[in-house]
Amino acid sequence: MNYLLHLLVYFDIYAILALSLNLVVGYCGLLTLAHASFYAIGGYACALLMLTANWGFLPAMLTGAFLSAVASLTISLSAWRLRGDFFVLASLAVQTLIYSAIYNWSSSKYPIGSWENLTNGSFGLTGIPSPKLFGWEINGTFDYAVFATGVAGLCGFILWRLKSSPWGRLLLAMRDDELAARGLGKNTRLAKIQAIAIASAIAAVAGALYATHVRYLNPDSASLDESILMLNMVIVGGLGNFRGPLVGAAILVGLPEILRFFDFPDAQAANLRLLIYGLLLVLLMHFRPQGIAGNYRLE
Amino acid sequence: MPTISVFPKSEEAPILLHAQGLCKAFGGQVVLDKIELELRQGEVILLRGENGSGKTTLLNILTGNLKPDSGEINYFSNGSPRSYCFPQRWWQELNPFDHFTPEFVAREGIGRTWQDVRLFGSQSLRDNLAIAMSNRFGDNPFFALFSPHHVIEREVEINQAANTMLTHLGLAGREDSSADKISLGQSKRVAIARAVLSGAKILFLDEPLSGLDRQGINDVLTLLQSLVNEQHLTLVIVEHLFNQSHLQGLITTDWLLDNRDITVSTAQTPIHVSSTDTARPAWFSLLAGKNTDFIEESLPHGALLTRIRQPDFFNSPSNPVLEIKDLVINRGQRDIIGLDDQGDIRGFSLTLYEGEIVILQAPNGWGKSTLIGAISGLITPRLGDICLFGQSINDNPVWERIHKGLKVLTSNEKLFPNLSVKEIIEITNNQTDISIFFPNIANRKCSSLSGGEKQRLAFLCQIAPSLSSTLNVLDEPFHGLDYNAVAEVITHLLSGLKTKAVFITIPFGYKP
């Protein structure tokens, strides 16, 4: 039972990430590889504030979301002028920059969380406290699964309401034909900044959930592999609607778990998983470019 | 044809736009030179000029899509005047609230439509119109999230306005249809309505009648008439020569772009386009020579097919070189080629016989390049069959079609920008002495050539003599060439010993 609840928590976290990434990729048509960076910023900010400043989960998480939204300006400002491949490259540069900062911002002489040793480098942060919310200490797996599902539901509701609003319609128009939208007086630059900031802030919430669930955080959470996994979820599940990213998150969270039942040695299982990811992507691009449940084809 | 009556233009009508000293050059080639113009409320302007005279450039500048090199533009259409001077200072570039961009110019009451329509294809017709109207709360994600009541209130009004407009356009009941599933005529009317709903006081229309059948033209004209008469909008219409006659009576002022300058006159002289002028330009005789038969055939949507045959054509048996049977080609959800004048699917059929030169003259937007794309294998037709020298080539990729004797000159300049002229000639296995065609530029990089030089080079590559029989298909081959250059390339084309047939597409009324 605990195993399934753990799986549910992971699904919740990746569902939040895939839904938020879909706002940028599926609704704005901007393919980004930097989403894991903002996820990690949220996780690290929340963990550090709880560890070193004894902040509660909620203010720490919200601060992480705010910092992540501010950091997202690094890619949204480049989206003003860059499109297509050039925007992907700019997002890759931001991803590498933030990953390197997290990986290298350490010094064994100084305490964790100090300016000189902010992230503790490759050793990561350990002993992150469990979240406490309005007197409810979320300690057990069941409690955490309920909590994570609630947070995922709230994030999903926020994104659904935004997607259904005139602002969501503006994003779709911008994706279909940015010049035509600008010709109607729509400030597409501002819309891009807003969409990327909101997606990054929501990814940071997922980061805070992950940090407080696993209670350990290292730079791997900001790695390019992690970004690609998130992107896979959106592309495999389907772009441009609400159900696609949920389907993608369910498949890519469930797939490695299914492989566990085949008794492959660990070393082979990891490679096999990557092989299946790659194969899945190639097959989908050929036979169903809009993803399993999507309705927008990324050009 | 709808009856057209025009909102009376008064000299006292307020000026909505004034521009002076506008200059624009591309790579040293001056397109606009110190242009001065003004627009008054209620005017309907026809902006005309030859291909390449700068019509679209001027339209792009006045709508904020392109910055002029120098000059000044003043907009008075939105209550408070706004002025833009060029070249802009560096600090003006940094000011996020005063950019000369399409969105800021649109807020001054300037709307535009595009020749290729540009509706938001994935959205419904209602949403295409609704997005044009401002929802102060709904366009902001914060209010969309935390103040849904205000958003919904305004959204109801917007949707009602969009539905009313769709009813006015004759599209009642189609509110939820996807924008890419309506006809071209309907799309053009929705695009005009969308620009109007965005608050435009001046509407720039780029070829609003191109590609439309008779009914579509009438519907768009009726809409334009109601915009002028009922809403007193100011229109600037760029329209192809072929369709200008439809606008007679609506136009109050004529802007003629010629030789980098603009001539403004009242539209007293009717704009008359003789069908014979456009149907058979004088340069056809270069292709035809003496004692040649012309056979003309009208095609749907205002296109004309001219076959040039030698006098003894019917005396000897002639084999079909290219056979196009019942072809239907779609672009997105919309069929482009294969429709009749009523918009019903009939399929496009055409046969080229050995020894023929066939010229397809059609307005912009007709689908000439789409047809060439299907013949060359770059575009897959939805229905129909294409045969080359009696064999179906439907399943053949581009390179196999080339090996079978097809030679295609596309209208896009798809040359290799970093190779020299000499190298490009060499990789096409062309044995032509390039010193005849390009005496001084053999070692220059392709990217440094002028438009005309590039076109001549592309032409030379495509019509290179080959050992096998060929069908030469040329999409707007004389673009950017003067009369002498056209004569030169035609002479070369006709000297291709193994050429079996030639298929040329040109815009209607093309004159080198």
Of B106, B123, B158, the CB nearest to A184: B106
A170 touches chain B (CB under 8 A): yes
A299 touches chain B (CB under 8 A): no
Instruction: Report ipTM (2 d.p.).
Output: 0.86
Q: Do A169 and B119 touch (CB under 8 A)?
A: no
- Residue A80 has a CB neighbour count (10 Å cut-off) of 13
Which chain A residues touch B77 with a CB distance below 8 Å?
none
Query: Can you give the three-state secondary structure of chain A, one letter per residue?
Result: CHHHHHHHHHHHHHHHHHHHHHHHHHHCCCCCCCHHHHHHHHHHHHHHHHHHCCCCHHHHHHHHHHHHHHHCHHHHCHHHHCCHHHHHHHHHHHHHHHHHHHHHCCCCCCCCCCCCCCCCHHHCEECCCCCEECCEECCCHHHHHHHHHHHHHHHHHHHHHHHHCHHHHHHHHHHHCHHHHHHCCCCHHHHHHHHHHHHHHHHHHHHHHHHHHHCEECHHHHCHHHHHHHHHHHHHHCECCCHHHHHHHHHHHHHHHHHHCCCCCHHHHHHHHHHHHHHHHHHHHHHCCCCCCCCECCC
Q: Do A184 and B101 touch (CB under 8 A)?
A: no
Q: Do A295 and B144 touch (CB under 8 A)?
A: no
pLDDT for position A293: 85
Q: Do A158 and B145 touch (CB under 8 A)?
A: yes
Of A182, A183, A194, the CB nearest to B141: A194
A269 touches chain B (CB under 8 A): no
Which chain A residues touch B201 with a CB distance below 8 Å?
none
Locate the domains of chain A by residue range: 2-222
Q: What is the pLDDT of residues A128-139, one digit of tens each?
A: 999 988 888 888
Which chain A residues touch B102 with a CB distance below 8 Å?
179, 182-183
Which of A76, A164, A165 to probe the B interface (max B CBs under 10 A)?
Answer: A165
Q: Do A185 and B134 touch (CB under 8 A)?
A: yes
User: Is the torsion defined by CA of B157, B162, B167, B171 positive or negative?
Assistant: negative
Q: Do B121 and A176 touch (CB under 8 A)?
A: yes
Q: Do A185 and B144 touch (CB under 8 A)?
A: no
A235 touches chain B (CB under 8 A): no
- Does residue B305 contact residue B358 with C-beta atoms inside 8 Å? yes
Distance of alpha carbon A68 from alpha carbon A62, whole angstroms: 10
Task: Give pLDDT tens digits along chain B (512 positions).
Answer: 444 444 444 567 889 999 999 999 887 778 899 999 999 998 999 998 876 788 888 999 999 999 999 999 999 987 788 899 989 887 777 776 667 899 999 999 999 999 888 999 889 999 999 999 988 788 899 999 998 888 899 999 999 999 999 999 989 888 999 888 888 888 999 999 999 999 999 999 998 987 777 788 889 999 999 999 988 899 999 987 767 888 888 999 999 988 888 888 886 554 444 444 445 666 677 776 666 677 888 888 778 888 887 666 555 557 888 999 999 998 777 788 888 877 788 899 999 888 888 889 887 778 888 899 899 998 899 999 999 988 899 999 988 998 888 888 776 556 788 888 888 878 776 666 666 666 677 788 887 776 667 777 777 777 665 556 678 888 877 766 667 777 777 776 666 545 678 888 887 666 55
Of B118, B135, B151, the CB nearest to A177: B118
pLDDT for position B427: 78
- Contacting A with CB below 8 Å, chain B residues are 63, 65, 101-103, 106-107, 111-112, 114, 118-123, 127, 130-132, 134-135, 138-141, 144-145, 148, 151, 155, 158, 194-195, 198-199
- Rounded mean pLDDT of A196-208? 97
A184 touches chain B (CB under 8 A): yes
Which chain B residues touch A194 with a CB distance below 8 Å?
141
Of A158, A167, A180, the CB nearest to B120: A180
Residue with tokens 């569902």: A15
Q: Do A166 and B112 touch (CB under 8 A)?
A: no
Closest Cα in chain A to B149: A165
Closest Cα in chain B to A166: B138
Which chain B residues touch A169 with a CB distance below 8 Å?
123, 127, 130-131
Closest Cα in chain B to A198: B141
Which chain B residues touch A175 with a CB distance below 8 Å?
122
Average pLDDT, chain A: 91
pLDDT for position B273: 46
Q: How far is B224 from chain A (nearest CA, A)?
A: 19
Q: What is the pLDDT of residues B314-368, one digit of tens each?
A: 555 578 889 999 999 987 777 888 888 777 888 999 998 888 888 898 877 788 8
Closest Cα in chain A to B155: A166
* Structure token pair of residue B205: 């229309």
Q: How far is A67 from chain B (nearest CA, A)?
A: 18
Q: Do A183 and B106 touch (CB under 8 A)?
A: yes
Which chain B residues touch A188 with a CB distance below 8 Å?
103
